[in-house]
Structure 1
Amino acid sequence: MTTIDSTNASLSAIEKIGYSLGDLAANLIFQTLLTFIAFFYTDVAKIAPNAAATIIFAGGLVGACFNPLMGLIADRTSTRWGKFRPWILWTSVPFGLIAILAFSVPDLGPQGKIIYATLTYVLLMLIYSANNLPYSALSGVLTGSMEQRNSLSAYRFVAVMVAQFIIQVLLLPLVLILGGGDKVAGFQNTMMIFAVAGTVFFLATFFTTKERVVPTAAQRSSIRQDIADLLGNRPWVVMLVLTILVFITLALKGGMYIFYFKSYLSEAHLAAFLRDVGFVGFIDGLNAALTSVGLTKFQWPEDAATSGFSLFNAAGIVMMIVGIGFSKPLADRFGKRDVFGAALLVSTLFMLAFYFYAPSSIGLVFVSQTLHGFFYGITIPLLWAMIADVADYSEWKNNRRATALLFSAMIFGLKAGLSIGSALVAGLLSTIGYDALLAVQPASVADGIRMSVSVYAAIPFLLGVASLAFYDIRKSTERTIEHDLGLRRAAAQQ
């Protein structure tokens, strides 16, 4: 049983925004890892691709294996602030400091760099678990209403898209600007800004949220019971597999896109496209306006690859935000499972289309990215809302709730997927013979990059769609669980 404090009441806009700021903070770092860690290690820190792959894979798995322990700790945390909110407070400053260290390149020699990168990457994975696991679990105890969780997820993932826009569109320009052209200094200075902003956002999450779904003493369970409940929960197994598969694709395609623009797409055709769509004119007009009032010019990178990559990401992110807007009404009508599976399948088809595009097909690349972004955007809030539903399913089935442990398994899946996908980026670069010192890569390397962002990246998504056939929580089940738990919680107050 659980005691409640208006568990199914509507969450205020302030609480939803405050909660979402925590994901904005975390994703300033997470999206950097997702998109640039392989690039940072190979092209900035000058670590060999095979060594980078080992660091990312091994370090990520160490962090992932910490998640179940962190889940058990968080579920058994008891403070006047609740179980999960204190961890957001305690980890806010360390998270930023370790991120700065992880994206610094000390002069330690080749082997020293590898050791330093390994240690800081592992530390970053550990602090990410200690912060993001309680943060994610918090969504399961702010409200018992599945409809309110759909709304909360929509707020949350608009914030994620803002962070993604900052990282995928503006990070490289910021690195060049803040480093004066020196990428090493630029990454470190940019992370300092992110660390300060992230700390402020985490504190906003702590002060604006409230835990309402609170287990009573009668519901407390042993570690053995919690693990047995988890392993016997088929929807949880499906969500774990799905999370791993989704983040393998996100890390693989996200990390490989910068190489796709640098080494596959035609620079001349890309430059012409940027000019024809008005992007170059926009930057020139912006700078003319700034200088006319005595301000400094906006120092946008001049190479077509960096500009094209940023605009490509911007187009996808804008359409993801549009897709997020369709997520809640579609899920309320058809159920999260069916909407997630259909949207993920369609988004995968547009990603597969990259296989057929020649280096000169710039327009088609951008069209596919926008359509992929729209349909993938529909799925973004649903993944975490479905995980919160699985926590309710476990309570409904077993009369016990272990929210953080359940979310820890999902964060494990996220980290495992991130580690595998990011390691695949570095590993594939090594396999196909990518050399960061070459101005122009061989045709075989370019073709390997094309395969990576299309066929290889599509496989985990397609397997994820197939896995949903085994997910038991359909729309009718959602209503039954919410109704039955509402009755139990009402009885617990009497």
Structure 2
Amino acid sequence: MSTVSHKLSVGEKIGYSLGDLAANLVFQTLMTYLAYFYTDIYGLSPEDSSYIMLVVGLVAAFGFNPIIGVLADRTNTRWGKFRPWILWTAIPLGLAALFAFSTPDFSYKGKVIYSIVTYALLLLLYAANNLPYSALSGVITGSMSERNSMSAYRFVAVMAAQFFVQVFMYDLILKVGDGDKAAGIEKLMTILAIIGIVMLLITFFTTKERVIPTPEQNSTLKQDIADLKKNRPWIIMLVLTTLVFITLALKGGSYVYYFENYVSKDSLLVFLKPLEGVLNVLGLGFENATSMGLGVFNAGGIIFMIVGIGLSKRLADKYGKRDVFGVALVISTLFILAFYFFPPESVGLMFGSQILHGFFYGITIPLLWAMIADVADYSEWKNNRRATAIIFSAMMVGLKAGLSIGGALVAWILGAYNYISTSGVAEAVVQPVSAIEGTRLLVSIYPSVFFIIGASLLFFYKINKSMEVQIEQDLLSRRG
């Protein structure tokens, strides 16, 4: 290994974090609005939407990600292994995001085919961009403390993207489209695509790869796969990542249905009346209770997620990533479960529970990817070979599989509870009681199950605080 300083400048941390901000303008839109886009904007049935999201998503997860991981680990350019992928895919990814949320006037069968093709293209390019980007975090620095710090910067950027998508996007879709959701989302995605491309280029130009395997440490694909099979922390993190993103897709994709069909509009207006002046300044006016309420609800959770992210490094440095992650995940789950017991009028309790959930879940956010980088170090420590991208590709398999399963479950569960699509319907639709009950379960019981299972897996994850220190010291000694 090369011996260079592993201390990162603030500028490099910010530059790296902008890549995740760009990626999350796409990812958060997929997680929050893809099911809603298919059912209530493009006019696909919940059943067809569910199949598209599940089948295409799983093909992408188990097909695209391993291939990109293998290719990225074997890429050698004057810019490094992973940075070139960010450069090569910046513009294609922006265009693919725009196409995936466009609404060409095809027949119903044509719409299904168009949705399949554009969603598959988007997931392929997302993998080719975000997997090397994630692997880059494992080679920018070999210092676990610097890695924790960089993860905190990175996920503040993630929260910024999430804040925009979940707070303002629904309202902006209505405004820029003059009430036409299809026109609104196309115009908005055009702007976001341009911004995302610029941010990805900044990431490429401001980062540097420092952890570089020497030629004798290069491995074959067969060796990489054999190493993974023996790496129990990697297996646990793969399953944990899948479960976490099933929950995020389930609850994130359900809130728009929850506010449109379950939460009392009158109670929302009364609860938020004291904030009317501030909301008007932010553009979240009282003319649409659903968009205003959904925006403020998400804003509260995200603001306190950022507070949790700010505490994450300090807690992880003191107690270790594993223990902090597990405790915070369990506590955050309790506040998801609480939604099952709230009647439509209990708006204050809903907002309070969302804020507390956001705070405790925020503590876990930087730790997940830092733990995956630790797993790459663990593999090198045990096997004397480093295969960063293929380890991160496995985690991206978990992320994509979780997103696909969770998103598909949103559409499938709504269909099972007899949800009525509102696409192309001018007048208000009164949903059946079963559909309203389904939306309540989608934001409470169903997502909680996967978080609890994920937390229980950490009992079998052995990289605790003392092992983190040992791995870091041993690897620095070898590289020196």
**Structure 2 length as normaliser, TM-score?**
0.97
TM alignment of 1:410-425, pairs within 5 A: 410-425=395-410
Cα distance in 2 for partners of 1:245, 1:309 equals 25
Partner of 2:425: none
Moved more, 443-452 or 12-21: 443-452
Kindly provide the amino acid, as one letter, of the partner of residue 438 in structure 2.
G
Kindly provide the amino acid, as one letter, of the partner of residue 324 in structure 1.
I
Per-residue deviation at 1:5?
A: 2.3
> Does residue 451 of the first structure (1) align with residue 441 of the second (2)?
yes
Preserved CA contact (<8 Å) 2:284 2:291: no
> Does residue 57 of the first structure (1) align with residue 47 of the second (2)?
no
Cα distance in 1 for partners of 2:434, 2:55 equals 28
Per-residue deviation at 1:110?
A: 0.8
Per-residue deviation, residues 380-419 of structure 1 (Å, max 9, x unmatched): 0000000000000000000000000000000000000000
> Does residue 310 of the first structure (1) align with residue 295 of the second (2)?
yes
Partner of 1:351: 336
Cα distance in 2 for partners of 1:355, 1:97 equals 40
Preserved CA contact (<8 Å) 1:4 1:214: no
Cα distance in 2 for partners of 1:283, 1:21 equals 27
Partner of 2:443, secondary structure, is: helix
Preserved CA contact (<8 Å) 2:332 2:356: yes
Per-residue deviation at 1:301?
A: 6.8
Per-residue deviation, residues 15-73 of structure 1 (Å, max 9, x unmatched): 00000000000000100001000000000001000000001011111211211111000
> Does residue 140 of the first structure (1) align with residue 138 of the second (2)?
yes
Partner of 2:179, secondary structure, is: coil
Partner of 1:175, secondary structure, is: helix
Preserved CA contact (<8 Å) 2:284 2:292: no
Partner of 1:470: 460
Cα distance in 1 for partners of 2:449, 2:133 equals 30
Kindly provide the amino acid, as one letter, of the partner of residue 381 in structure 2.
W
Per-residue deviation at 1:254?
A: 0.3
Per-residue deviation at 1:461?
A: 0.1
Q: 1:250 aligns with which of 248, 251, 267?
A: 248
Q: 1:202 aligns with which of 200, 203, 217?
A: 200
Unaligned runs of 5+ in 1: 288-297
Preserved CA contact (<8 Å) 2:45 2:421: no
Partner of 2:451: 461
Partner of 1:165: 163
Q: 1:154 aligns with which of 127, 152, 155?
A: 152
Q: 2:310 aligns with which of 319, 322, 325?
A: 325
Q: 2:36 aligns with which of 39, 58, 73?
A: 39
> Does residue 28 of the first structure (1) align with residue 18 of the second (2)?
no
Cα distance in 1 for partners of 2:286, 2:399 equals 32
Cα distance in 1 for partners of 2:165, 2:347 equals 22
Cα distance in 1 for partners of 2:379, 2:67 equals 19
Partner of 1:222: 220
Partner of 1:5: 4
Per-residue deviation at 1:299?
A: 7.4
Partner of 1:408: 393
Cα distance in 1 for partners of 2:411, 2:275 equals 31
Moved more, 61-70 or 339-348: 61-70
Kindly provide the amino acid, as one letter, of the partner of residue 477 in structure 1.
M
Unaligned runs of 5+ in 2: 423-427
TM alignment of 1:249-328, pairs within 5 A: 249-275=247-273, 278-284=274-280, 286=281, 298=283, 300=285, 302-328=287-313
Preserved CA contact (<8 Å) 2:284 2:295: no
Cα distance in 2 for partners of 1:219, 1:364 equals 55
Cα distance in 1 for partners of 2:287, 2:99 equals 29
Kindly provide the amino acid, as one letter, of the partner of residue 205 in structure 1.
T
Cα distance in 1 for partners of 2:209, 2:191 equals 30
Per-residue deviation at 1:300?
A: 4.2
Partner of 1:177: 175
Per-residue deviation at 1:281?
A: 3.2
Q: 2:352 aligns with which of 367, 377, 396?
A: 367
Kindly provide the amino acid, as one letter, of the partner of residue 282 in structure 1.
V
Per-residue deviation, residues 146-176 of structure 1 (Å, max 9, x unmatched): 0100000000000000000010001112212
Cα distance in 1 for partners of 2:358, 2:279 equals 24
Partner of 2:471: 481
Cα distance in 2 for partners of 1:364, 1:107 equals 43
Cα distance in 1 for partners of 2:137, 2:434 equals 46
Cα distance in 2 for partners of 1:440, 1:274 equals 24
Kindly provide the amino acid, as one letter, of the partner of residue 112 in structure 1.
G
Cα distance in 2 for partners of 1:311, 1:10 equals 38
Kindly provide the amino acid, as one letter, of the partner of residue 329 in structure 1.
R
Cα distance in 2 for partners of 1:444, 1:173 equals 27
Cα distance in 1 for partners of 2:125, 2:45 equals 26
Per-residue deviation, residues 280-338 of structure 1 (Å, max 9, x unmatched): 23344x39xxxxxxxxxx57472211110010000000000000001000000000000
RMSD, aligned CA:
1.1
Partner of 2:413: 428
Kindly provide the amino acid, as one letter, of the partner of residue 159 in structure 1.
A
Partner of 1:3, secondary structure, is: coil
Partner of 2:108: 110
Cα distance in 2 for partners of 1:312, 1:352 equals 17
Per-residue deviation at 1:250?
A: 0.1
Per-residue deviation, residues 455-482 of structure 1 (Å, max 9, x unmatched): 1110000000000011110000000000
Kindly provide the amino acid, as one letter, of the partner of residue 48 in structure 2.
A
Partner of 1:233: 231
Partner of 1:187: 185
Partner of 2:429: 439
Q: What's the % identity of the aligned pairs? A: 61
- Give the 3 Å change call, closer, same or farther, for CA 301–98 of structure 1 in structure 2: farther
Partner of 1:389, secondary structure, is: helix
Per-residue deviation at 1:452?
A: 1.5
Preserved CA contact (<8 Å) 1:246 1:460: yes
